[in-house]
Chain A
Amino acid sequence: MDKILAVVRREFTERVRQRWFWVIVLLGPLFFGGIFILPTLLASGGGVKRIVVVDGTTSHLGQRVAEQLTQSKVFVATSIPAGGRGADTLTLTDDVSAKRLDGFLLLTDALVDSGKAEYRASNVSAFKAIGTLEGTLRGLALSVRLERAGVDPQIVARSQVRVDLDSKKIAGGKTTSESAAQSFSLAYFMGIILYMAILLYGINVMSSVLEEKTTRIVEVLLSSLRPFQLLLGKVLGVGAVSIFQFLLWGLSARVLIAQRSHLLGSRATDDAGQVFQVPHVTATTAIVFGAYFIGGFFLYSAMFAAVGAMSSNEQEARQAQQPVTMLLVASFISMFAMLNDPGSTLSVTLSMVPFSSPIAMPVRWAAGNLPLSEVALSLAILFVSIIVVTWIASRIYRVGILMTGKRPNLKELVRWVRAA
C-alpha cells in the first residue's frame, strides 16, 4: 500500500512540475472561454448593423420597414427608392465590400404578394439579425395584406403581438429555471470536457508506461512491487493530476464567468443570453459527471496502459493506440447526433455501451430528463467492464512490459492474456 502511494506521489509531483501541465491549466480557460464567447460574438454579429433598404414596392413600404428595423436597435436602416441614386446593386455591393455598409435589403411587391425579399450582407449567419429581419418583414406583409382586405389599420396595429418564447426544462418533476439553451450548452460542454480529459490523461498513462519500459527502470520496479500495484499507482496518480487540473479549471471558470459581463461589455451579454447561457450545474449533475469521468478514465487508461506496455517506442505506441482512440472519437462524434434527440434508440444504446457511455450518458443527462434507473444500469455495465478490461489489460501489461522487439499481433496478445 505504501508503495502504491509512493507511485501515486511520483506520478503526481513529476507531472505537476512539468511545464506542459501549467500551459494546459492556462490554455484551458482560454479554450473554454472561446467556446462561450465566440458564439456570443457571432450571434451579435458585431453590434448594430448599418443597412440600406432599396424600396422597389409600389406602395412605398421601404420607409416603414426602415423605421421598424431601426426601432429594433439591431439595425440602423435607411430607405432609398429603387432606381434612385446609389440604389443599384453594384454600388451597394461595393459599399458592403468596403465596409461602409453591413448589407442591403431588396424589397419589391413580391414581399406582399408572395412573401419574398432579398437580403445581401457580409454576414448572413448572425441569426439574431436575420430573425429580426424576418419578423419585421413578416409583420409588415401581414399588415399590408390585411389593410388591402379592408381591415381597419387600427385593428391591425393592435393585433400585432410580439411573442417571446421562454422555454423551461422539466427535471425531476419540477420545472426549473433552466432554459433549453442552457441544457444544450451544458451537455455540449460536458461532452467536450469528458472527451478531452479522458483522451489527454489516458495518453498520459500510456506514455508513462512507455517511459518506464524504454528506460528499463521497470525492471527495478518490478523487483520491488507487483505489476498490478505499479499500474494501479500510475493510473491513480495520473487521475489525481487530472482532478487537480479540473479544480484549477473550475476555479478559473468561476472567475471568468463572474467577470463575463465585464469582459464582453453590456451590449454582448444581452445577445449571449440567446445562445449560450452559463449552465446551472446541480449537485446531481456534478456527481453524474464525476462518476462517468472516473469510470471512463479508468476504462480507457487501462487500455492505454496495455498499449504502452506492448510497444517498444513512441512510434509503435502511436500506431497501436489508434483503435483505442477511435473508440473515444466515435463516442465524441455521436454526441452531436445525441444532442438532437437524446431519447433515440441510438442515444440510449450509446449510453449503455461501456466504451461510449462515459461521454454519452452525461450528455443525455444534461440534455434532458432521465430516469435514475437508466443511469444506474449504465454505471453498472461500465463498472463490470472496467473490471474485465483492467484484468485483460494488466495481463498484457505484465507480459509486455518486459518484452522488447517486435510488437505482438492479436494472436500473441491472446496468448499473453492466457499465459500471464
Chain B
Amino acid sequence: MTTAILVADRITKRFAGHTAVDALSLTVPPGVIYGLLGPNGAGKSTTIRMIMGIYVPDAGTVSLFGGTGGLGQSERVGYLPEERGLYPKMRVLDVLLFLAEMKGMDRRAARPKALAWLERLGLSDWRLRKVNELSKGMQQKVQFISTILHDPDLLVMDEAFSGLDPVNAQVLKETVLELRARGKTILLSTHIMEQAEKLCDSVCIIARGKKLVDGPLAEVKRMHGGRHVLVNFDGARGAADRVFADRQLVAKADVSGQFAELELAASADAQGILQALVSSGARLSRFELAEPSLNKIFIDLVGPEAATAAARPEEVARG
C-alpha cells in the first residue's frame, strides 16, 4: 500500500463555548477524490483549515505527504476556501501571478501557465481587466485557476460547488476528474450528496465535529446498505402500500410518488417482494436490486442531528 497523502490523527479544535471538531481521524490515500461530507456546521471547514495549517489543532496531528502538516508543504497543496475572494482592484493576471508566488512559484514560470489556463477557461480577453469588472462566475473560474496553477499534488476544495452555475460546475468537475487521472489527490467538502456520489472514490461523513463513517464509497455503501430495492410504478400502485408496510418483507420504505426505495427485511427475499407487488396489482416500470444512495446513508446517519446542527448559530470564526 502506498503512503497516504493526508493523515489526520484525532484532531480537535475548540472555540469559545463549543468543540467544533472532536478527535477526528481520517486518511486520504493517493490518487482519489475524497469527500468530506456533513451538514452545515458539522465542522468541515474547521477540519479543512486545520489540514491547511490555518488553524493549529488544540490536540492531534495532521500529516501531509508523509511529513508534518502545516505550511511546510503548502507548495504542494492547492486550496479553494469556502468563502471565495480575490483582490478586487487587481488585474486578473497579476492576481494569478501573485498567488502563484505565494505557492513558491517563480513569477516568470507562472506566467505562461496562467495564460494557458485563462485561455482554456475562456478568460483570455479578461486577463488585463480588474477582478471587480468580472462576473461572479468568471471570478470563480479565476479563483479556481489560482488553486491549481502551481500544479499541486493535493487539491483541497471547501464547498467546491457552492455558487457555481451548471456550466461552471461541469468545467470544475471535468478538471477535477482530469487531475485525478494525472494521479493527483482531491479532498473536497460538500453537503450535496448527489455530487459526492458521482465524484468521490472515498468519503468521510461527519456531524457535530465527530466522524460517523469513512472509507471507500463502495465499502461505506455495503456496510450501511443492507439490501435495497428500487421500485418505479407505472401509473397504478394498486395495494403496494400494504406490501411496503409488511415488516416481514420490508424493513424500511422511502416512498415518493412514483418512486420507492426499499430496504429488505432480514428474512425477506427480493423475489418475494416482486411477487407480492405484482399480485397487489401494482404496475411496475422498474424493479432493481441496488445499493443505497449516499443521500440515504447520509440522512440515516445524520438525519436527526442535521436539523439541530443547522439550527445552531454559526460558530465563531465561521469554522
Contact = CB atoms under 8 A, between A and B. Distances in A.
Nearest to A415: B16
B318 A215 contact: no
A217 B102 contact: no
A403 B317 contact: yes
A247 to B, nearest CB: 24
Given A2-B104, A402-B317, A10 B81 contact: no
B86 A223 contact: no
B103 A224 contact: yes
Nearest to B75: A224
Interface in B70-88: 71, 74, 77, 79, 81, 83-88
A269 to B, nearest CB: 45
B102 A216 contact: no
Contacts of B88: 215
Chain A binding surface, main DSSP class = helix
Given A223-B53, A402-B54, A403-B316, A211 B87 contact: yes
A219 interface: yes
Interface residues of A, number: 24
B96 to A, nearest CB: 12
B316 A215 contact: no
A219 B54 contact: yes
Contacts of A323: none
Contacts of A223: 52-54, 71, 74, 77, 79, 81
B251 interface: no
A197 to B, nearest CB: 23
Contact of A224 (B49, B74, B86, B94): B74
Contacts of B83: 216, 219
A3 interface: yes
A270 to B, nearest CB: 50
Interface centre among A18, A211, A223 (most CB of B within 10 A): A223
Interface of B: 49, 52-54, 71, 74, 77, 79, 81, 83-90, 94, 98-99, 101-104, 107, 146-147, 316-318
18 contacts: A3-B101, A3-B102, A10-B98, A13-B94, A14-B90, A216-B85, A219-B54, A219-B83, A220-B79, A220-B99, A220-B102, A220-B147, A221-B102, A222-B54, A224-B74, A225-B74, A226-B71, A403-B317
Given A223-B74, A223-B81, 13 more contacts: A2-B101, A3-B102, A10-B94, A10-B98, A14-B94, A18-B89, A211-B87, A215-B86, A219-B49, A223-B52, A223-B53, A223-B54, A403-B317
